Amino acid sequence: AQKVTQAQTEISVVEKEDVTLDCVYETRDTTYYLFWYKQPPSGELVFLIRRNSFDEQNEISGRYSWNFQKSTSSFNFTITASQVVDSAVYFCALSEAEAGNNRKLIWGLGTSLAVNP
């Protein structure tokens, strides 16, 4: 079954700490895409990154970095030197192929991150 698991429901850290959000997925596809979205208290979902299944290179964008490991079906997200503005719910999602060339997003339940001053 296709599934995205975010085992950490809530994480609380103190500002400037590093924090890693875990994401484990299951899929039958050989071609798929993985995403991370941020949902701040204002409610909108903000796109952070998309990674396709053929690209296992880690990615860094400022304080954000992502570690994609197909061997363990994981796509973990690390925030370095966390800030209060990073407080949000973070969702990992998997996009896999369906019939008719459509793709559907499968969402994890999200990890609520609180960064305290």
**Contacts (CB under 8 A) with another protein, residues 49-108:** 50, 91, 93, 95, 98, 100-105, 107-108
44 binds another protein (CB under 8 A): yes
| Nearest distance from C-beta of residue 72 to another protein, angstroms | 22
**Contacts (CB under 8 A) with another protein, residues 2-31:** none
Residue from 5, 13, 33, 73 binding another protein (CB under 8 A): 33
Q: Which residues of 75-98 are buried (b: 16+ CB within 10 A; e: fewer)?
A: bbbbbeebeeebbbbbbbbbbbbe
Residue from 76, 79, 88, 110 binding another protein (CB under 8 A): 110
| Nearest distance from C-beta of residue 42 to another protein, angstroms | 6
> Where are any strands of DSSP class E within the chain?
3-5, 10-14, 19-21, 24-26, 32-39, 46-52, 59-61, 64-69, 74-79, 88-97, 103-107, 111-116
Cβ atoms of 45 and 39 within 8 Å: the answer is: yes
Q: Which residues have C-beta within 8 Å of that of residue 43, sequence separation ≥ 6? A: none
- Nearer to another protein among residue 30 and residue 101 (C-beta): 101
Give residues in contact with another protein (CB under 8 A).
33, 35, 37, 42-47, 50, 91, 93, 95, 98, 100-105, 107-110
